[in-house]
Homo-oligomer: A and B are copies of this chain.
Amino acid sequence: MALRIIATGGTFDKHYDEIAGKLTFAASHLPQAIARARITAAYALEELPLLDSLDMQDIDRRRVLASCTHAVEEAIVIIHGTDTMQETAAVLGAANLAKAIVVTGAMIPYEVANSDALFNLGYACGVAQLLPPGVYVAMNGKVFDWDKVQKDRVAGIFEPIPH
């Protein structure tokens, strides 16, 4: 099934700027990661402005929603910062699009040792192709409904919202 992969920034795509001496954004690592994955499935890669998810505003989330709305693909992977994944997922979930939309990201940037980015990208691409329409968060080898997940910021993992 054809995939759309939408880059929005977040830890996954953080880049070390050696002149400034800090992590920031430059070009997305997604083209390199996708080439590395040797994907032969049909896919489109769409780069939105790359943002730290703590800096995301309503207008940024509506931009992500617009991309999902206009996408011709029925399986969508969104690369997103982990701190506000649920907020973006909530905006997407309220729209009730007839597409499987999977939000994922990384705890360690793609270009840093021991990164989970490539695993998460693979996991999200796999489940996006199989899930029924809906909005999901995929992290830690699990897929969650968008309204039943939270990030435990102390442990650095995603977990179901306790009842």
Does A153 lie at the interface of the complex (its beta carbon under 8 Å from any beta carbon of B)? yes
**How big is chain A's contact interface, by range?**
35 or more
Q: Copies per complex?
A: 4
Which chain B residue shows the least CB distance to A16? Answer: B112
Could you tell me the distance in whole angstroms from the C-beta of A15 to the nearest C-beta in chain B? 9
Q: Give complex CA distance A114, B15 in Å.
A: 11
Instruction: Check: A130 CB closer than 8 A to any chain B CB.
Output: yes
Chain B nearest CB, measured from A67 CB (Å): 20
Contact A109 B141 (CB under 8 A): no
- For A124, the chain B residues whose CB sits under 8 A away are 122, 126
Does the CB pair A119–B37 fall under 8 Å?
Answer: yes
Cα A141 to Cα B139 with chains together (Å): 18
Q: In chain B, what residue has the closest Cβ to A120?
A: B122
Q: Is the CB of A41 within 8 A of B142?
A: yes
Contact partners of A120 in chain B: CB under 8 A:
37, 122
A64 on the B face (CB < 8 A)? no
The distance in angstroms between the C-alpha atoms of A43 and B123, with both chains bound, is 15
Contact assessment for A36 and B114 in the assembled complex, using a CB-CB cutoff below 8 Å: yes
Q: How far is the CB of A8 from chain B (nearest CB, A)?
A: 16
Question: A140: which B residues are within 8 A, CB to CB?
Answer: 37-41
Binding site for B on A (CB under 8 A): 3, 11, 16, 18-19, 21-23, 33, 36-41, 43, 83, 107-109, 111-116, 118-127, 129-131, 138-143, 153-154, 156-159
